Copies of this chain bind each other. A is one copy, B any other.
Amino acid sequence: MVGIGWSTDEKEVTMEAFIIGIDMGGTRIKGVLQKGKEVVESIYLPTGEGDTFKNSVRSAVEQLQQKCSGQARAIGLSAPGIPDSTNRAIAVMPGRLPGLEGFQWTEFLGLPSFVLNDAVCALLAEAKSGAAVGQKNVVLLTLGTGVGGAILIDGKPYQGAFNKAGHWGHTSVEATGYPDVTGMPGSIEEAIGNVSVARRSQGRFRDTQELLNGVEDNDPFAQWLWLDSVQKLAVTISGISNAVSPDVIVLGGGIAHAGEILLTPLRRFMDIYEWRPSGKGSQIVKAIHSDLAGAVGAAFFAHDMNHTQSI
């Protein structure tokens, strides 16, 4: 976004404008109708097989338009992958949502439509109406199927060269570890993401919820496996603190909502690993938005992009 002039500071959200935000999740299309900073309607539709997700997106938009008598002026779209330089389409998304790459949404939906990476959307939601309101430099990690991430610098989403920045999930904590989907060995995504629980547990647990049930049942194998994941997360977060030193690190995604079973050991490991010159450490907070984070952030993005481009 650097260069487009978008900022959390510069523009107040116009309170009367209706904006639609849509998040293209793997199993559900989630939509919100926002008026200013408030979500006034939300909707969930199945993503569907193949490229039917596009019709689900259009259907969600139509239903939300009906709720505001067609007054929404722009659409924000939260999607996996890497947006093109104009944020009008997703440029790169191998393997999921067939037909997403290069698809022009403005034409298809009939309204100015702006596409942003889903983790960047989640960060915007936190920065605008969540856990990071008023902060200038923020890193978000989303702990779910995979590990996503996004960076806010000086109040603006920072996307870097090729709009690739923020993918902390594909940083390594084990240089000789199992390679993840990008080829990175021993990444934090492989160490704590839902995607790898079956492999990491040698088939004992199908997902993180089952693993955490094992922890609560005092199964030593489950406890060891979980603490190993949290230890690696603490090392990753300590590294983010040393390299980027954001004002606040926001943890989102399903695993972040596990609560004290995550936070108690995480704090213990951070006390050991984090470098705290003059005693100052990173502020770590839980995301406020949950499954609508992507849609809400997309709506904020569309509001500001539409505002920027119409004046």
Residues of chain A having any CB pair with chain B under 8 Å: 2, 82, 91-92, 136-137, 149, 151, 153-154, 158-168, 170-176, 182-186, 191, 231-232, 235-236, 238-239, 241-247, 272-275, 277-278, 280, 282
Residues of B close to A176: CB separation below 8 A: 231
Instruction: Given A173-B175, A174-B174, A235-B185, check contact A278 B168 (CB 8 Å).
Output: no
A238 touches B184 (CB 8 A): yes
Residues of B close to A247: CB separation below 8 A: 161
Of A235, A280, A282, chain B has the most CB atoms within 10 Å of the CB of A235
A91 touches B278 (CB 8 A): yes
A2 touches B154 (CB 8 A): yes
B161 touches A246 (CB 8 A): yes
Residues of B close to A175: CB separation below 8 A: 173-174, 191, 231-232, 235
A168 touches B274 (CB 8 A): no
Q: Nearest 7 CB-CB pairs, A to B?
A: A160-B245, A171-B239, A182-B275, A164-B245, A92-B277, A165-B245, A167-B242
Number of copies: 2
Nearest-Cβ distance from residue A54 to partner chain B, whole angstroms:
22
Of A236, A278, A282, chain B has the most CB atoms within 10 Å of the CB of A278
Partner pick for A277 among B149, B159, B162, B184, CB 8 A cutoff: B162
B280 touches A162 (CB 8 A): yes
Nearest-Cβ distance from residue A93 to partner chain B, whole angstroms:
9
Instruction: Given A154-B2, A175-B232, A183-B273, check contact A166 B243 (CB 8 Å).
Output: yes
Cα distance, A246 to B159, chains bound together (Å): 9
Residues of B close to A277: CB separation below 8 A: 82, 91-92, 162, 164
B168 touches A242 (CB 8 A): yes
B242 touches A170 (CB 8 A): yes
